[in-house]
Chains A and B, each alone.
Chain A
């Protein structure tokens, strides 16, 4: 779905514009803009220090001093989240917008049975009574693919496997019937076979219920199957943003290209050293002048040291922040540009 790029289509579930986040005086996230159409799935991809998690926390309104939003707007549907009072924000969180974390035990209380926790979530956002809420809870557990849901509902979190716990957390997140789901590295702590299943679950939920999703991940493989659109973040900025197919096939930004090259899959040639990016991702205080990536970029030119590239339209679709994107990556013809159809 290219709905995310075409504003004339159904309304946007999430519209983030020029978002900046700072911790005291140190900027953590600069000028980040991206949009998620209703029912679409976007991935924020990046490594440590990229600011992807902070961005998600900012959208959810979960930042605490000294970390704060320093500028920009966050629109959920047509609600400006920055203008809401604390009470209103509390209502929205868990209801219209929900978050799934990397570690299910960050959300689940080890002292209560699973069903009680889901019931609590349900009753916070819907007017159901206990009985009805219980029934709904079991329904939700079935929906997220937990076999023998009625029995499993009575279990305590530690009695379930990692994958099951993550499913429970997803069920809780869905209990408020959200428009948008934020997932922060939801599969990183899981085994590879379970990872695949959780990604499948998220895709299914998104398709069946029309829930828009934002997945934060460092794993390009996981993002590949999941996303309609991918935004690559580096040092607190978006450096490239495009439809998934285009980005993987024709990465325009040197960082995206290098990241794709560095990923180890089963086709990695054995005789050569692994392609890698020299140096390490910068921490917020130590950003280089000009383009933040230039110290590690193989194509760096003197211009890159002084002049920070803006995020501009890229040939082939999407946008990229690199002075030399056009020269390095000639206009892509046929396949990539024509991938407009549905997921």
Chain B
């Protein structure tokens, strides 16, 4: 059995709270992602899923634990080696416009990773830009545009193209479609899936939306308050989940069926107030 592409062992990230309190944003988390797979990480706000991804990408410093990428100890690398490793692991953020430098054109944005690593010359970079735009379904004219001239979906495509510029093997998608319109979300998800097939990518797909995670990921882990409370294959988790938190998340998802939803609401309201210990 080949080694997983990414392995996380007992990762911990703590923050100091108040004078001498401590809060574990990531509390002893372990997971493994196989090559070519999409690993779904589900959790609500405050669950620690984003912190976990930033630790894995070494954008913030973990306090304890190990991260192994293709056998390499990520947390122990020197700065220069880490920079080289970054070519293989990339990220797409939630806010499509926020993740693009508003002072640069799309072409600049796409060439920046290439320039940073001294890849190719001017001509080849321009060619690569055209290639990338085509890969994400944008016309070549987009190269001259600026971020403010792009819609949310287009901006996110540019962000994806940038992430692919250095031909990474692994991409972290941190709530990559949550800020997009419903009608555009599907486009981006379909694009991501197609890219995965075409380029053999491995994804860590982070989202609070269980339905989308179910569509994208083969293996899913559910996080709550810094720990993984349940982990398993898509089939098992969605069909036979055992953990009460996972179940509560599954049940909370509204369905586009008014009579059914209406009945649920009325049933809830009729139930005694004891059940109403709102966590929210």
In the complex they form, whether A and B have CB atoms below 8 Å apart is answered with yes
Q: Is the CB of A266 within 8 A of B183?
A: no
| Per-residue interface assignment for chain A, residues 253 to 267, with 1 indicating a CB less than 8 Å from any chain B CB and 0 otherwise | 000001110111110
B189 contact from A161, A245, A274, Cβ within 8 A: A274
Q: CB-CB < 8 A to B183: which residues of A?
A: 47, 258-259, 262, 276-277, 280-281, 296
Q: CB-CB < 8 A to B182: which residues of A?
A: 47, 218-220, 259, 262-263
Number of interface residues of A (CB under 8 A): 58
| Residues 228-260 of B at the A interface (beta carbon under 8 Å) | 238, 248-250, 252-260
Binding stretch for chain B, among A111-119, A197-205, A300-308 = A197-205
Q: CB-CB < 8 A to A265: which residues of B?
A: 211, 253, 255-256
Q: Is the CB of A163 within 8 A of B279?
A: yes
Q: Is B22 an interface residue (CB 8 A)?
A: no
CA distance in complex: A194, B210 (Å) = 15
B190 contact from A167, A197, A273, Cβ within 8 A: A273
Q: CB-CB < 8 A to B101: which residues of A?
A: none
CA distance in complex: A209, B256 (Å) = 26
| Per-residue interface assignment for chain B, residues 265 to 280, with 1 indicating a CB less than 8 Å from any chain A CB and 0 otherwise | 1001100010011111
| Per-residue interface assignment for chain B, residues 177 to 191, with 1 indicating a CB less than 8 Å from any chain A CB and 0 otherwise | 000011111110110
Closest chain A residue to B211, Cβ basis: A264
Binding stretch for chain B, among A8-16, A77-85, A185-193 = A185-193
Distance in angstroms from A26 CB to nearest chain B CB is 17
Q: Is the CB of B256 within 8 A of A221?
A: yes
Q: Is the CB of B208 within 8 A of A263?
A: no
Given the known interface contacts A192-B208, A264-B209, the answer about A199 and B193 at a Cβ–Cβ threshold of 8 Å is no
Q: Is the CB of A194 within 8 A of B256?
A: no
Q: Is the CB of B269 within 8 A of A200?
A: yes
Q: Is A329 an interface residue (CB 8 A)?
A: no
Q: CB-CB < 8 A to B276: which residues of A?
A: 145, 147, 197
Binding stretch for chain A, among B111-119, B150-158, B163-171 = B150-158
Q: Is A227 an interface residue (CB 8 A)?
A: yes
CA distance in complex: A166, B276 (Å) = 16
Q: CB-CB < 8 A to A277: which residues of B?
A: 183-184, 186
Q: CB-CB < 8 A to B268: which residues of A?
A: 200
Number of interface residues of B (CB under 8 A): 48
Closest chain B residue to A193, Cβ basis: B252
Distance in angstroms from A216 CB to nearest chain B CB is 14
Q: Is B215 an interface residue (CB 8 A)?
A: yes
Distance in angstroms from A14 CB to nearest chain B CB is 21
Q: Is the CB of B190 within 8 A of A191?
A: no
A224 contact from B193, B256, B269, Cβ within 8 A: B256
Q: CB-CB < 8 A to B249: which residues of A?
A: 192-193
Q: CB-CB < 8 A to A146: which residues of B?
A: 278
B193 contact from A221, A268, A273, Cβ within 8 A: A273
CA distance in complex: A220, B254 (Å) = 9
CA distance in complex: A198, B279 (Å) = 11
CA distance in complex: A163, B277 (Å) = 12
CA distance in complex: A48, B151 (Å) = 10
Q: CB-CB < 8 A to B45: which residues of A?
A: 162, 191
CA distance in complex: A139, B255 (Å) = 33
CA distance in complex: A276, B212 (Å) = 14
Q: Is the CB of B190 within 8 A of A200?
A: no
Q: Is the CB of A260 within 8 A of B181?
A: no
Q: CB-CB < 8 A to A200: which residues of B?
A: 265, 268-269
Given the known interface contacts A222-B254, A264-B215, A266-B210, the answer about A194 and B152 at a Cβ–Cβ threshold of 8 Å is no
Distance in angstroms from B100 CB to nearest chain A CB is 16
Given the known interface contacts A198-B280, A200-B265, the answer about A225 and B258 at a Cβ–Cβ threshold of 8 Å is yes
Closest chain A residue to B254, Cβ basis: A221
Given the known interface contacts A204-B269, A276-B190, the answer about A196 and B252 at a Cβ–Cβ threshold of 8 Å is yes
CA distance in complex: A213, B33 (Å) = 47
- Write 20 A-B pairs (CB below 8 A) sorted by A numbering: A146-B278, A163-B278, A194-B279, A195-B252, A195-B254, A197-B276, A218-B182, A221-B253, A244-B258, A248-B256, A248-B257, A265-B211, A266-B250, A274-B189, A274-B190, A276-B185, A277-B186, A278-B187, A280-B152, A296-B183
Which residues of A does B touch, CB under 8 Å? 47-48, 145-147, 161-164, 166-167, 190-200, 203-204, 207, 218-222, 224-227, 244-245, 248, 258-260, 262-266, 268, 270, 273-278, 280-281, 283, 296, 343
